[in-house]
Structure 1
Amino acid sequence: MNRPPFEYADLFAGIGGFHAMLDHAGGQCVYVSEIDREARETYSRNWIDPLPERARPVVNTDITLDTPDDLPVGVPKHQVLAAGFPCQPFSKSGYQRGMDEARGTLFWNIARILEERTPSVVLLENVRNIAGPRHRHEWETIIRTLREIGYRVSDTPTVFSPHFLPPHLGGTPQVRDRVFILGTYIGPERVAAELAAGEETAPTVRRAPVEDWQATDWQSEWVLDEDAAIDDLGRYRLSAEETAWVNVWDDLVQRMWSSTGRRLPGFPLWSDAWVPEHTLDPLEMDALPAWKRQILIKNAAFYDSNKRVIDAWRKDHPEFKDFPTSRRKLEWQAQDTPSLWDTIMHFRPSGIRAKAATYLPALVAITQTSIYGPRRRRLTPHEAARLQGLPRSFTFGPQRDSASYKQVGNGVAVGAAWHVFRTHVERDAADLPKALVKAVLGADLNPAGDALSTKAFEYLDEGEERPQAS
């Protein structure tokens, strides 16, 4: 058996987004930790079960079991540590610092492994808010702790989303801003010396399109499977009630276009607030929060400007008044899209939200599955996995759809993670093992493989013409 160019540990592993990209570079996973049983089963089904017995990693169910206070860590040696770790609050005591302050949080368990195993590269991923003003203390503690252990890291967070990448670099049509923390082990003394010399480490990548890719060129259809290939397709189609909601609102979209030459405005439309503006009670309005007052005023002005169209529409759809309250609200973010049925929709507690069918909103761990209007159905779990850059061969097996959607919503976007990791390795190549550098920089630029349909890549064969929707 040939020795792999590098070995890696996959912590808080989910369903294997980091595994997909590190395997893509030829790495071998030696350790996996994931506490959620169903996610662990999905991980094993796709990444471990197909391997010969001798190549399978150690699988752990709880990282705290392998990172005791007073014993060696139970994680094998490795060169890359990847973790999409949960963010927990740190103590704000002024008497504690670094590793001591991180104690009692799951970040401390990562730090324990880094301190004892000192892998060459650490790659951490978290939600964007971890670097926001409400979590400044946590952010500073994480960076300080990594530096005390001996990792060169940037004060400034690396924030990136897969929709900034063109298809041939592993991009997918999902706006999913995540914070990536990347560090290279150079030892505590050298870290201190570089900091003392004022050597600032810049973020690994900028939050910006790569190779001038235009995010609006995405077509969400590129992650869809053919309807004929989907088992039990009816499970994902909109119900008669949901179809009625969309049809009634779409009729208003069409009437507005015919009457004014414009689609609906971009502020939240609350049909229950469509009253003449002069009927709004100033005293009642002053008592409201400013955001709600502005929405009510805008809706009243919208009604005054379009009274004839709205009244006729209401008269023709008496069933509208019996729609659930949240379905009598619409957030139109689809600009000049001709029809509500041509958009990506979400049925949210705050209303129906519609946007152009370019890139999709971030997948989330709760069930607000995107609806692809042209096919009048929701994305399947398999399509959601492709949206994260996982291959078409990826399977959830027989598990519940709700568990699959949750797992994908908690997952890592393979293309975005690969882009920041590869860029980091290229930048810090002089301080990293040669075999690791050669493997990463020698791998195909696209780690997402066949996650997208072939239509997404047609621009490469057409003199860099931008792709068109099919």
Structure 2
Amino acid sequence: MGDDMSLAGSQPFRYIDLFAGIGGFAAALQAFGGECVYSIEKDPAAAGVYERNWGHSPLGDLTDHANDTVMVVPEHDVLVAGFPCQPFSKSGAQRGMEETRGTLYWNILKVIQAHHPTIVVLENVKNLAGRRHEHEWKVIIDTLREAGYRVSDKAVVLSPHRLPLELGGRPQVRERVFITATYDPEGLLSHEDVETPLAYMKLRGRGDDWSVAADLPLVEGEVPGTSLTRDEMQWIDAWDDFVTMMWPVVRSQALPSGRLPALPGFPLWYDRWIDIEALTSWAAGAARMPYRRQLELPDQWEDVPAWKQTFLVKNAQFYSQHKDKLDAWAHEHGVASFPASRRKLEWQAQQTESLWECVLQLRPSGIRAKRATHLPALVAITQTSILGQQRRRLSTGEAALLQGLPETFDFGPQSPAETYKQLGNGVNVGVVWNVLRAHAQRDREILMSTDEGRALYRNLVEEADGGPDERVKEALAAGQARYCRSQMAVAV
């Protein structure tokens, strides 16, 4: 691992890459001129992709390498760890450190206590800094401070869509929380009320729109493995007809001055389109509900949760207002025969004229439509986004670009599903680049107090002006060359 050459031109710093995945952290750190001296990744498929691109295999288990009796992790200047997020994710049980995977932080801490790297960067889902995990957050901050680190107790939450393209930004809404710390046992800077690195970043304004087609180089024409099925085309065509049918109706309605007409923002569900009079009569106790079993409702309106009452009323009002048009539309397209999750539309595309101009997701909760600006986060557990204007799914190559990886990144012979999963579990390169650079600027005084710190500051700040993209391409080429040399050596 020690043959990496510094791209920044100065003395390379040493880093370790824990829970390395396919190498999102590695891409940024190699681009900064870092030299990997240790990496670890438990998933064999991800470790294989990491090796193909960065020249060494991270396969292994940190619990075997850093525990109460064993410490095989070498000395290093920077520690990065995108430690498992499932214990803190909203999609999981949110058991935090009570869950086995949550205790992996303690193995990270043992490495920190043994070697005291100059900079530590931990990454996780935004929910780690939420109310549900206040205890876990406090434990992490307190233990880092006890180990001699200057760290803010405020969350650094950053998404690639908040960064300019020239600084590694991407049109993907993917909020992640970062904890960044600098070893400062002498207390050169105050450890109280520490500001976050966000103050040292150039961020996009909320009014700055992306254009997916312009800012993400999309492949023209057909792309193998991205085609929509005949059924998927039918579902989207049907709801596209609904959208184009309803826009003239919506725009013909009088609105208060300054308000733009809009399609309903609440989820529209064909199965819940019933007459509002029947619903209100039952709610008032004046009549039976003929659709009660069909709607899976309890015996009494009072037993219906408040959120569901609102949802039912809005859908019933909408249906009653446009009954003739909606019945004709549903009959023409055979909507009753669609799967339950395809009989729903979640419109979040504001003034977009057509469903086929949106970015779409075929979710268990329905067909979700968003403007073709920010793409939803790449995550392993949901459907891959559909690019409406291209009438296909996002390709694996385009998904890699969204994470800041070059077109030359090599996933090998694995399935597209495995690649999407790995990218969904990964960290965005541009976000890492900007977080590390801003953190070094924040703690410049500490870094400049030692030879190692000064060298690190040169790499992360002075010689890293601008964005990471071109440097990452160079680092990737060097890593892939190392891999080729290692394979040739094995063959000989």
Normalising to structure 1: TM-score of the pair? 0.85
Kindly indicate whether residue 48 of structure 2 is the aligned counterpart of residue 41 of structure 1: yes
Q: Aligned pair in 2 of structure 1 residues 103, 397: CA closer, same or farther (>3 Å)? A: closer
* Offset, 1:225: 3.6
How far apart in 1 are the matches of 2:51 and 2:326? 55
* Offset, 1:337: 0.6
Which of 245, 249, 256 is equivalent to 2:239?
A: 249
Identity of aligned pairs, percent?
Answer: 49
Kindly indicate whether residue 256 of structure 2 is the aligned counterpart of residue 236 of structure 1: no
Kindly indicate whether residue 334 of structure 2 is the aligned counterpart of residue 336 of structure 1: no
For 1:419, the aligned partner's letter is: N
Question: Residues 367 and 406 of structure 1 are in contact (CA less than 8 Å); yes or no, is this contact kept in structure 2?
Answer: no
Q: In the alignment, what sits opposite 1:23?
A: 30
Q: In the alignment, what sits opposite 1:11?
A: 18
Q: In the alignment, what sits opposite 1:348?
A: 363
Kindly indicate whether residue 307 of structure 2 is the aligned counterpart of residue 291 of structure 1: yes
* Offset, 1:297: 0.7
State the 4+ residue runs in structure 1 displaced beyond 6 angstroms. Answer: none
Question: Residues 80 and 121 of structure 2 are in contact (CA less than 8 Å); yes or no, is this contact kept in structure 1?
Answer: yes
Matches within 5 A, 1:93-172: 105-172=103-170
Matches within 5 A, 1:62-461: 62-71=61-70, 73-87=71-85, 105-187=103-185, 190=187, 194-195=190-191, 199-205=192-198, 210-212=203-205, 214-219=207-212, 222-227=215-220, 233-261=223-251, 262=261, 264-280=263-279, 281-282=282-283, 284-317=300-333, 319-432=334-447, 433-441=453-461, 442-449=463-470
How far apart in 2 are the matches of 1:161 and 1:383? 18
Note the residue ranges of structure 1 that are not aligned, 5 or more in a row: 49-55, 91-98, 453-470
How far apart in 1 are the matches of 2:161 and 2:79? 25
Q: In the alignment, what sits opposite 1:96?
A: none
Question: Residues 355 and 369 of structure 2 are in contact (CA less than 8 Å); yes or no, is this contact kept in structure 1?
Answer: yes
Q: Quick check: 382-391 or 177-186, which moved more? A: 382-391
* Offset, 1:352: 0.4
Q: Over residues 293-338 of structure 1, what are the superposed CA-to-partner deviations in whole Å (9 max), with x where a residue is unaligned?
A: 1111111111122223212312322x21100011000000001111
How far apart in 1 are the matches of 2:167 and 2:18? 25
* Offset, 1:367: 4.0
How far apart in 2 are the matches of 1:301 and 1:332? 17
Question: Residues 168 and 446 of structure 1 are in contact (CA less than 8 Å); yes or no, is this contact kept in structure 2?
Answer: yes
How far apart in 1 are the matches of 2:139 and 2:331? 60
Matched pairs, number: 425
How far apart in 2 are the matches of 1:416 and 1:220? 21
How far apart in 1 are the matches of 2:27 and 2:414? 21
Question: Residues 165 and 213 of structure 1 are in contact (CA less than 8 Å); yes or no, is this contact kept in structure 2?
Answer: no
Question: Residues 87 and 101 of structure 2 are in contact (CA less than 8 Å); yes or no, is this contact kept in structure 1?
Answer: no
Q: Aligned pair in 2 of structure 1 residues 414, 124: CA closer, same or farther (>3 Å)? A: same
Alignment RMSD (CA, Å): 2.6
Q: Aligned pair in 2 of structure 1 residues 190, 88: CA closer, same or farther (>3 Å)? A: farther
For 1:36, the aligned partner's letter is: D
Question: Residues 176 and 361 of structure 1 are in contact (CA less than 8 Å); yes or no, is this contact kept in structure 2?
Answer: yes
Q: Aligned pair in 2 of structure 1 residues 290, 114: CA closer, same or farther (>3 Å)? A: same
Q: Quick check: 18-27 or 284-293, which moved more? A: 284-293
Q: Quick check: 141-150 or 277-286, which moved more? A: 277-286
Q: Aligned pair in 2 of structure 1 residues 155, 220: CA closer, same or farther (>3 Å)? A: farther
How far apart in 2 are the matches of 1:46 and 1:124? 23
For 2:163, the aligned partner's letter is: L
